[in-house]
Chain A
Amino acid sequence: MRVGMPHMGNIYIPFKALFQRLNIDFVIPPVSNQRTLSLGVKYSPEGLCIPFKLTLGNLIEAAELGADTLLMPGGYGICRLGYYAKTQEQILHDLGYNVEMIQVGVSEKKLFGILEMIKHLSNNAPWSKIISAFRFGLTKLNALDKVERVVQKVRARERIKGTANHLFAKAVKAIDRADDYDTLKKVQTEYIDQLNQVAKFTQAQPLLVGIIGEFYVVLEPFSNLDIENELGKLGVEVRRRLFISEWTKFSLFLNPLGVNETDRIHKAALPYLKRDIGGDGWESVGEKVLHAKEYDGLVHLAPFTCMPEIIAQNIMPKTKEVIPVLTILCDEQLAKPGTLTRLEAFVDLLERKRRSKDRQQRVLV
């Protein structure tokens, strides 16, 4: 049995560690690229969203490398992504790939859905072994996300553009290679230190932009033209709530404060949207309300044809909490020049707004 799964950012790294410890043969398809997208687009129904097309491309590329067991999240309660595993399985069979598709029930069972899947794949390994491997994978995931949070800060301030990215790429490799907790801890501290020591501009506080929207397009840089990096190059600090490690914390009830961040967001959205509408639509509205005071602006990422995010997009301009929002619809047609023009204009807008606010305050003083 050879296991394959789609990409989403660096999620393959924790899974690789986890599967290695359980002696599961795991094949990693090439990170999402133009070929992945072309394959996905070619074999997908046109009206489906970019997450479907890219993950299908990944699965085909995994099957090409000999994977016979494919993992894909699914289940009810998400959005139509819940049906994607089934549809993709059908497409793969039609293409002649003899693969078994395992639908991982992340929506209703959260992390326990993943644990069940691992139990099955490991040929019924004892729970103690599974939990131990799982813990190690989780530690890698947390390390990756911790380093990335520092990268988001450094990108906006670094004197030589690209330094943080360079370090991040090295850190990702080192975390991937780390084989025990001590090395992992060491690598994490080492790279965070290096990032903190990067020469930075310190005169002005950079603009702060929050990234909100649909889980996959926020977390898969290929699907959004690596928008965080582009914002970083424009000198903007990016923040986002969506990190896979945040999701696992929530699913494991490991939130240290005992108050669920998601609950707080839903509460903020309540005056404008009273229920879950699938996907991350409810959260998008809630985050806009919550961050209106704290951030300079928001970039809202949504897959083209995504119903929940379209609803959110139309509710957002009507909230009484006001903050500039730039919605970017991600699909295979998304092109860099047009997106950059919009981003540049958006950053100019935020900068000029901040300057005029500063001027007004000075006048008041």
Chain B
Amino acid sequence: MEAYMGIDVGSVTTKFAVLDNHDELITNLYLPTQGKPITMVQQGLKQIQQQLPTDVEIRGVATTGSARYLAGVIVGADLVKNEITSHAVAALLYSPEVQTIIEIGGQDSKLIIVRDGVVTDFGMNTVCAAGTGSFLDHQALRLNMSIEEFSRRALDNQNPVRIAGRCTVFAESDMIHKQQMGHRIEDILYGLCQALVRNYLNNVGLGKEIKPPIVFQGGVAFNQAIVKALQEELDREVVVPPHHEVMGAIGAALLVQEHIANNHGESEFKGFGVSEVEYHTSSFECQACPNLCEIAQLSLNGQVLARWGGRCDLWERSPSR
């Protein structure tokens, strides 16, 4: 069976998806990145190999997410794609009529506007992490509850409290303030969800026309309280598709399938064996000009595979975009 693999290495989680050539999901995987993208990609490959039926042949691999270039070098990706395009392509597979895609991940959030099956506009949070998964995680941790419990208890609210959500720092101090005032924790939690949704729409959604059908994907879509708050704020139905947490990886797999078909090429995939290889990362300060850029490099057995991080192209050696 021919198959295509997408790997989405985000700041918080690493996602794998393998699709057959009828765009059916064969298997997928969702792992925490834990700040170790290389190790997690290797570990993920190992696990994916075990999950796959033995007759599967990988015909193409694409990487996406913030560590897409690094992951691309490690696995030998045929295509390295940004996460905005990947998410849009995946959303269109499951809901061809979609007009708005909301994606909230660990460190960033996006809003993608689609008309007639083509992306026409997008927004991405710029300065602030308010409204992203990491902040919710952090608050759950502070309150000593799992994120699942956070979501469940937030839905149990009676009288949501208004939290200042402009900024995570203010949101946190406002939450503490409301706790000390004696508000119910459920009401505070849901108030926080509402604040994050408001902030997301005011920030990322500024000046964008949000039309139905609306699809909500990314890890934060697990949180039913956020889904509810979004629906209330938009006054529209918000659909959370199945596999919403691995949509980026699914999109990458779809894109590489298209890429291989267009180029009639052989895959550059290095095989599942790369999970056994030891990669070495290092960095140095370039002295060529006063910019003193930090150049990061990835090597294998003393041979440099890739370099990046400079303002100019002096050291640049990375797989083609």
Contact = CB atoms under 8 A, between A and B. Distances in A.
A234 B126 CA distance: 22
Contact of B124 (A33, A165, A342): A342
Contact of A345 (B85, B291, B311): B85
A124 interface: no
Given A337-B66, A349-B119, A356-B118, A226 B312 contact: yes
Interface in A1-56: 30, 33-36
23 contacts: A30-B290, A33-B290, A34-B292, A34-B293, A162-B313, A233-B321, A329-B126, A333-B127, A336-B311, A337-B66, A340-B82, A341-B66, A341-B82, A344-B81, A345-B122, A346-B122, A348-B82, A348-B84, A348-B85, A349-B118, A353-B120, A356-B116, A356-B118
B289 interface: yes
B242 interface: no
B207 A344 contact: no
B83 A341 contact: yes
A197 interface: no
Nearest to A352: B118
B319 to A, nearest CB: 13
Contacts of A162: 313
Given A34-B290, A162-B313, A344 B321 contact: yes
Contacts of B124: 338, 341-342
B121 interface: yes
B117 interface: yes
A167 interface: no
Contacts of B207: 314, 317
Interface string A331-361: 0010011101110111011001100100000
Nearest to A229: B313
A226 B82 CA distance: 19
**A contact face: mostly helix, strand, loop, or mixed:** helix
A324 B120 contact: yes
B83 A33 contact: no
Name which of A36, A162, A233, A344 has the most chain B CB atoms within 10 A of its CB: A344
Contact of B118 (A35, A341, A345, A353): A353
Interface residues of A, number: 31
Nearest to B83: A341
Nearest to B209: A317
Contact of A349 (B122, B290, B291): B122
Given A33-B289, A162-B313, A324 B85 contact: no
Given A336-B311, A341-B83, A35 B290 contact: yes
B311 A225 contact: yes
Interface in A106-165: 162, 165
Contacts of B312: 226
Nearest to A225: B311
B11 to A, nearest CB: 11
A150 B100 CA distance: 40
B290 A324 contact: no
Give the top 10 A-B pairs by smallest Cβ distance, nearest first. A345-B84, A33-B290, A344-B82, A348-B85, A34-B291, A349-B119, A35-B290, A33-B291, A345-B82, A341-B82
B205 to A, nearest CB: 13
Contacts of B117: 356
Contacts of A333: 127
A345 B124 CA distance: 11
Given A34-B290, A317-B207, A348 B119 contact: yes
A344 B83 CA distance: 10
Nearest to B120: A324
Interface string A215-250: 000000000011001000110000000000000000
Interface string B118-140: 11111010110000000000000
Interface string A286-327: 000000000000000000000000000010010000001000
Contacts of A342: 84, 122, 124
Contacts of A349: 85, 118-122
Contacts of A324: 120-121
A270 B312 CA distance: 40
Interface in A174-196: none
Nearest to A328: B126
Nearest to B66: A337
A335 to B, nearest CB: 10
A3 B207 CA distance: 46
Contacts of B85: 344-345, 348-349
A34 B290 CA distance: 7
Contacts of B83: 341
A296 B289 CA distance: 36
Interface in B234-292: 289-292
Contacts of A229: 313
Contacts of B293: 34
Contacts of A34: 290-293, 311
Nearest to A33: B290
Contacts of B127: 333
Given A234-B321, A345-B82, A349-B120, 14 more contacts: A33-B290, A34-B290, A35-B291, A165-B313, A324-B121, A333-B127, A341-B83, A344-B82, A344-B321, A345-B85, A346-B122, A348-B119, A353-B118, A356-B116
Nearest to B67: A337
Interface string B70-104: 00000000000111110000000000000000000
Given A225-B311, A314-B207, A342-B124, A352 B119 contact: yes
